[in-house]
Structure 1
Amino acid sequence: MSQLKIVVIIMVQSLQKPITFAEFIQWKPANKRYELHDGVIIEMPQPTGEHEDIVGFLAEKLTLEYVRLQLPYSIPKTALVKSASSESAYSPDILLINRLNLSNEPLWKKESTLILGASIPLVIEVVSSNWRDDYYKKYGEYEGIGIPEYWIVDYLALGGRKFIGNPKQPTVSIYVLVEGEYQVSQFRGNDCIQSVAFPNLQLTAEQIFQSVSC
């Protein structure tokens, strides 16, 4: 069966009922970024240049730090994080993986997908127009997976006031898993980022926000 026919069949089915992760993986093309939200395929919009600036800056800083510490980490380009409690799979802006735990991941070799919190020391989402996904949906799913640390980098202050305060201002929210629940600390301006994964990281919130191209 051609890929076009598979696409048509799955898209028609998706109008009638949610699709499974297996169907999503079979359909998912390699040249675009998609996520699966409760059985619904979501095409991720092309990010802005500023968004990419911040992702690149943070990926570089974290890579330098884990190399310096000789940690068995890496940052894949397009790997997915799958929830065990729903038909959802996400493509984080930055996904830090612990390579020592990949042998325990049943979906890694063939589908580059992680399901275990022990494989993911840190995940980062840079907020765009669909900010509710980061603060609501992904927050709950990442907590349920057991990811120890989750950063939300809201450089445009798009999130709701109950998340970043009033008046709204650029904020880095770092959620750390404590007894199975996320506890949040927030960083603005010249606040030094405090990371459990990288406790000696020398980085301020303002340095992250200023990493965008002029």
Structure 2
Amino acid sequence: MTQASRKLLTFNEFVAWYPENSQSRYELHDGVIIEMPPPTGDHEEVVGFLATKFTLEYSRLNLPYFIPKTAFVKPLESESAYLPDVVILNRPNLVNEPLWKKESTVSQAKSIPLVVEVVSTNWRDDYLKKVADYEVMGIEEYWVVDYAALGGRRFIGNPKQPTISVYALVEGEYQINQFRFYERIVSPIFPELNLTAQQVFQAGGTIST
């Protein structure tokens, strides 16, 4: 993760600045433009695997959800905008999102049932900043998928091991459950989802022992 600019910007200025057809991805963190680390092949395989599993599940349940190719998640109370690795959107509520049509941006919890970040070198953002912002927004479920065990030991244990952290909103606060090895991932949004942590890790070439 690198800071592409030190000048503090508003969200509108950030959207106007964002380069078209860029090979790089950028987020806005409290007014600062952040260039995201380039994804690895393993990272993208995990993202693709999870997107497929979620799509199959919400299609099976006939839910009005979809996964956009690109969408900003913008906390209302700050000049920030995030590009999650996977974000599930609730189509019926998008009519209430004033920034959706022109800027592919959502801010309301009712529009965002679930967000996933697949951990890379900017793991502090996933475990600290985004957890706090998504909680304040009221997003019901947030996954941090640390298939390569990159996060700090205070988050994934010592010794570090591949971990999926599922943050579920309970009375306005996130409660965290963590899954490793062959444990079945428990998702409040998709309670019948049949998926183990190991299946996700294998998509990224990681074998837990």
Q: Could you tell me the TM-score, scaled by structure 1's length?
A: 0.91
* Aligned: 1:58 with 2:55: no
Using the aligned pairs only, state the percent identity. 67
Structure 1 segment 50-129 matched on structure 2, within 5 A: 50-129=42-121
Does 98-107 or 28-37 show the bigger shift? 28-37
Contact 2:141 2:166 (C-alpha < 8 Å) held by counterparts: yes
Of residues 115, 120, 144, the one that matches 1:152 is 144
Q: C-alpha displacement at 1:212, in angstroms?
A: 2.6
Give the match's secondary structure for 2:194: coil
Contact 2:37 2:122 (C-alpha < 8 Å) held by counterparts: no
Read off the aligned partner of 2:148 and give its amino acid letter: L
Q: C-alpha displacement at 1:30, in angstroms?
A: 2.8
Does 137-146 or 88-97 show the bigger shift? 137-146
Read off the aligned partner of 1:150 and give its amino acid letter: Y
Give the match's secondary structure for 2:134: helix
Q: C-alpha displacement at 1:148, in angstroms?
A: 0.3
Provide the rounded CA distance (Å) in 2 between the counterparts of 1:167 and 1:45: 25
> CA RMSD, aligned part only?
1.3
Q: C-alpha displacement at 1:51, in angstroms?
A: 0.1
Runs of 4+ in 1 over 3 A off after TM superposition: none
Q: C-alpha displacement at 1:167, in angstroms?
A: 1.4
Of residues 158, 176, 188, the one that matches 1:196 is 188
The alpha-carbon distance between structure 1 residues 184 and 213, as it changes in their structure 2 partners (threshold 3 A), is closer
1:16-54 CA-to-partner distances (Å, cap 9, x unmatched) read x41100000111123232100000111112100000000
Provide the rounded CA distance (Å) in 2 between the counterparts of 1:46 and 1:101: 32
Read off the aligned partner of 1:25 and give its amino acid letter: V
Provide the rounded CA distance (Å) in 2 between the counterparts of 1:60 and 1:30: 27
Contact 2:108 2:137 (C-alpha < 8 Å) held by counterparts: yes
* Aligned: 1:30 with 2:8: no
Give the match's secondary structure for 1:210: helix
Provide the rounded CA distance (Å) in 2 between the counterparts of 1:30 and 1:190: 42
In structure 1, list runs of 5 or more residues that go unmatched.
1-10
Provide the rounded CA distance (Å) in 2 between the counterparts of 1:100 and 1:196: 20
Structure with the larger helix share: 1
Q: C-alpha displacement at 1:213, in angstroms?
A: 5.3
Q: Could you tell me the TM-score, scaled by structure 2's length?
A: 0.93
* Aligned: 1:42 with 2:11: no
Q: C-alpha displacement at 1:160, in angstroms?
A: 1.1
